[in-house]
Structure 1
Amino acid sequence: MSSTTAPPATPAADAAPRRLTGRLRVTLAVLLVAQFMLAVDFSILNVALPAIGDGLGFSLANLQWVATSFALPAAGFTLFLGRVGDLVGRRRIFLGSLALLGAASLAGGLAPTPDVLIVARVAQGLATAAATPAGLALLTTSFPEGPLRRKALGLNGALMSAGFTTGAILGGVLTDLLSWRWAFFVNVPVALAVVLIAPAVIAESRPAGRPRIDLPGALSVTLGLLALVYGLTQAGEHGWTHPATLAGLLAGAALLVVFYLVERRAAQPLVPVQVLRKRTVAWGNVLGLLAFVTETSLVYLLTLYMQKTLGFSALVAGISFALLGLGTVAGGLLAPRAIARTSATAVLVGGGLVQAAFTAVLLLLGDTPASMGLLLPATFLGGVGNMLAIVGFMVTATSGLPDHQQGLATGLASMSQQVGITMGTPVMSAIVTAVTGGAVSAAAILDGVGVAVAANAALVLLGVLIATVFLRARHDRAHA
């Protein structure tokens, strides 16, 4: 790939500042606000879905498309649009996608029919697929590799995870106090503010040349991810043996194999195979996928538990996640210091062990409100562990690569994040459905959630094992 010109605010690695300058503070604030808003969008409509169905006349069978129509493009187009941003200019893609997000959010809030709402959700998903990797690439190229980048990635990870939790809370509050339409409208002023401020503080990162886009690679990976995410959403709704589930998963797997074969032979590949073979990139992204699968799906499981087993309202259930949000912020602030003293691998392993331990504690939940005395501290401490793992993943997956490959690295990291967020809930939903057999009694839901929580903790421990076996601490220190 051709080289890019680093932003003027990015000093040379050997003369990197140890503290944030005034301009870098504003740059960081703008990028973090945008990423927080994008994270909120993933969950803000979850508790509003019944109200949207009543308000616009969605059938129960079609209501899930409000979420799926966003998730498919958000996950499927992330890698491709991240690479486009790397080629035509990250700031340009970032600003354009946020403008699209604001317009789509306005259209969704004003939607008079289900069809208009679905189109708005598709546009929101495409905007998210473009803005997330572009924003992360701007973050990594604006801050030199080392302490400042670790700090920026720590804050970014904390706010993104907190944004997902905040979305669940905010969606319940807005729907109960105002209308589900405000879950869309809230994006508009934030997107407008970022679009107006960002050009003054964020420098463009332009390629020196414009190589051809690897169209076969782009098509195969995009269609593969779309098929994979579709299969997972069908698994959550209909189960793992449903024809739509199997067709989506098998087609997705086949297309991703095609993508790898295409990339091996392409003259200018979308993702150079030598980058995929880099240990920190490959295994770092696997760990990132697991980190996002487990914590975001745990929010779904605990929402189900609090509403169906304990009988809490959507508003109360949403507010209960405030401690989880605080835990992720604490983990994001702690992670850069911990990485500086040890290594990203050590923080990945330590964070995963903490998350697994406090996820396993949730197996002790009962059918009375007294269990909240266990749930609240466990989610706080589990959130700390999860955020340690997420920041460790971000540092691992984006370190040791030149600036002109940061769009690729952050595109891969963003893809892992988006697919993880998207697939976690349907996977855990399928487990609950398999255990309960469709029963909706408080006791049946408690049993189903218990099995899914055990599977969740097992996935976290799998991540710990992968980090321990495949990422070496001494290699990690050299590039962190």
Structure 2
Amino acid sequence: MSTVAATAAETAAPERSRNRWLALTFLALAQFLVVLDASIVNIALPSLGAGLGLDPDLLTWVITAYVLPFGGLLMLGGRLADRYGHRTIFLAGVFGFIAASLAAGFSINGPMLLMSRAVQGASAALLAPAALALLMQLFPATDGRGKALGIWGAVAGLGSVAGVLLGGILTASIGWSAIFFINVPVGLVVLGAIPALLSRDVVTSKVRLDLPGAITITLGVVALVAAFSMVLEVGFLSPVTLGLGAAGVALLGLFAVIELRSPEPLVSFAIFASRSVTLGNLAVLLIGGAVVGLFFVLSLHMQNVLGYDAMLTGITQVPLALALIVAAGALPPVLAKFGSARTLAVSLVILAAGLAWLALAPVGADFVLHLLGPTIIIGAALGGAFIAGTELAVQGVSEADSGLASGLVNTSQQIGGALGLALLFTLATTMTDGLGANGADEITALAGGYSAAYLGAAGLALLGALIAALAARQ
């Protein structure tokens, strides 16, 4: 990675906007919608299924239809942004997201909804890496990037928590279609503001798009994410899971061969010569696994063991969200003093401690006495981990590769989320079944299973901390 290229890009970056902080606000708002839509559907699934007459076995596909194209097309989306312009691809993604959200809200049957969700995911794969690349251009590493990433991480983390709360409120008060319609006014505001705040793209690259590479990596990532998603339905050793996993590995292997032989590769493997990019993406993958699994299990724990309804489940996650926001706001000077790798390592150790504390909650836990403390610690640690992990993974990347680096970060998080959810849910189920077989009542067995999942998430966080510590030795 050329230091001269990176420096030149950073010097010119602020010229893209006369009010870069306001521009960041709308970029972060678009990212909020992307994260929100990955989680807001969960609580609305029963109501949605009843309204459209969907079989319960098909309800998980309302989530999967979004996740698969999102995860699979992120690398292509990042490279398209580098090739055709970051603002252009970002606006195209926002427009597609708005249109798909409208179609989802007006769906009259299952196939229409699933198709709309797929278009939402594909549109998100365009706007997410383009938005992060624009942030990198607006805020050079030596001029406000830490603070900008703090805002970015806080908004993205808030989207994960807000999905649970808003999903319950909107579904209960208006109906399931409201969880999709809410995207439309917000998206229109972003669509109108960004052209006024960001200058037009100046695209100097005339490199042809590597279609064989784009096809193989898209299909490979989709197969891997699908394999991990199928674990929740049919288990790790199912022929379907194993077949999809093998296909994913084979396609990614073929992708590597294509890229090494291509004169104009979709992904230049030279980017992995940067140790921070490689180790940062590995850490982000593990963070994604711990976080997605945590929110999924925590929601089940509060409803199935503690008896909370959907609304109360969302409200109890507000302290976690507030802790995340406060930590994200306080992080920039910490990043400046200790660096992203050290900050990430410490954040992940604190996250592991909070998860281990959460695992100690008794069966009849009182929220204030047993859950409030660990969830606040987890929220604060997530604020540090999200931001420091992203900063590490894009450190030193030139403007020409900013879309690619952003696509890598988002892809790592999506694959990690699918893998972590499969691993932690399987761990919880195995422990629950084991306790039930040994005579424990249903509630006690479920509580034991969820505690095992929290400890598993803590293990992922500690592994991420080890990787961050290796990066800190660079």
**TM-score normalized with structure 2 length:** 0.93
Range with bigger deviation, 329-338 or 171-180: 329-338
Contact 1:72–1:226 under 8 Å retained in 2: yes
Question: 1:148 matched to which residue of 2?
Answer: 144
- Equivalent pair of 2:98/2:184 in contact (CA under 8 Å): yes
Q: Which moved more, 1:310-319 or 1:414-423?
A: 414-423
Query: 1:96: which partner in 2?
Result: 92
Name the aligned partner's letter for residue 216 of structure 1.
P
CA distance in 2, matches of 1:34, 1:400: 25
Spell out the pairing of 1:432-471 with structure 2 (5 A cutoff). 432-437=428-433, 441-469=442-470, 471=471
Q: How well do the aligned residues superpose, as a CA RMSD in angstroms?
A: 2.2
Note the C-alpha offset of 1:372: 4.5
Superposed CA deviations along residues 346-391 of structure 1, whole A, max 9, x for unmatched, are 1011101110101100111112141552212211211211221221
Counterparts in 2 of 1:249-328, with a 5 A limit? 249-328=245-324
**Which stretches in structure 1 are left out of the alignment for 5+ residues?**
476-480
* 129-138 or 25-34, larger mean C-alpha shift: 25-34
Contact 2:224 2:415 in 1 (8 A): no
The residue that corresponds to 1:106 in the other structure is 102
The answer to whether the aligner puts 1:167 opposite 2:163 as a matched pair is yes
**Equivalent-residue separation in structure 1 for 2:192 and 2:246 (angstroms):** 44
Deviations 1:225-260 (A, max 9, x none): 000010001001221111111111121122222222
What is aligned with 1:56? 52
The one-letter code matched in structure 2 to 1:472 is A
Structure 1 residue 180, shift from structure 2 partner = 0.9
CA distance 1:255–1:237, change in 2 (3 Å): same
The corresponding residue for 2:72 is 76
Contact 1:9 1:24 in 2 (8 A): no
Deviation of the 1:330 alpha carbon: 1.8
Q: How does 1:335-374 map to 2 (within 5 A)?
A: 335-374=331-370
Residue in 1 that maps onto 2:390: 394
Distance 2:407 2:55 in 1: 36
Displacement after TM superposition at 1:25 (Å) = 2.0
Structure 1 position 400, deviation (Å): 1.0
1:36 paired residue number:
32
Q: C-alpha deviations, 1:41-85, integer Å up to 9, x for none? A: 110001111111111111011111100000100101101111111
Structure 1 residue 129: deviation in Å?
Answer: 0.7
Aligned to 1:215: 211
Q: Which residue does the alignment assign to 1:478?
A: none
Read off the aligned partner of 1:161 and give its amino acid letter: G
Other-structure match for 2:238: 242
- Tell me, yes or no, if the aligned pair for 2:342 and 2:472 is still in contact at 8 Å: no
Mapped contact 1:51–1:175 kept (Cα < 8 A): yes
Letter in 1 for 2:288: F
Contact 2:9-2:399 at 8 Å conserved across structures:
no
Partner SS for 1:269: coil
Q: Distance in 2 between matches of 1:123 and 1:185?
A: 15
Q: How has the CA–CA distance of structure 1 residues 424 and 177 changed in structure 2, closer, same or farther, with 3 Å as cutoff?
A: farther
- 1-structure distance, mates of 2:180, 2:12: 41
Q: Structure 1 residue 415 and structure 2 residue 408: aligned? A: no
Distance in 1 of aligned mates of 2:48 and 2:36: 18
Q: Percent identity?
A: 36
Q: Is the 8 A contact 1:239 1:433 kept in 2?
A: no
Correspondence for 2:374: 378
Any gaps of 5 or more consecutive residues in structure 2?
Answer: none
C-alpha distance in 1 between matches for 2:431 and 2:175: 35
Q: Does the CA contact (< 8 Å) of 1:75 and 1:419 recur in 2?
A: yes
The CA deviation string for residues 174-211 of structure 1, in whole angstroms up to 9 with x for no partner, is 11121111000100000111111110101233321321
Q: Is the 1:12–1:144 contact (alpha carbons within 8 Å) kept by the matching residues of 2?
A: no
Q: In the alignment, which residue of structure 2 is the partner of 1:472? A: 472
Q: Displacement of 1:419 after TM fit? A: 2.5
- 1:330 matched to 2:326: yes
Amino acid at match of 1:186: I
The count of corresponding residues between Structure 1 and Structure 2 is 465
Residue type matched to 1:463 in 2? G
Partner of 2:125: 129
**C-alpha contact 2:365 2:371 (8 A) present in aligned 1:** no
* CA distance in structure 2 between the partners assigned to 1:286 and 1:232 by the alignment: 17
Q: Note the alpha carbon deviations across 1:419-463, whole angstroms, 9 max, x for none.
A: 333443333222222223397922221111111111110110011
The secondary structure found in structure 2 opposite 1:48 is: helix
Q: Secondary structure at the match of 2:267?
A: coil
Shift of 1:95: 0.7
Could you tell me how far apart the structure 2 residues matched to 1:335 and 1:205 are? 31
* Alpha-carbon distance in 2 for matches of 1:268, 1:352: 38
Match of 2:114 among 118, 133, 146: 118
Residue 308 of structure 1 contacts residue 441 of structure 1 at CA under 8 Å; is this kept in 2? no
Quick one: distance in 1 between partners of 2:392 and 2:100? 34
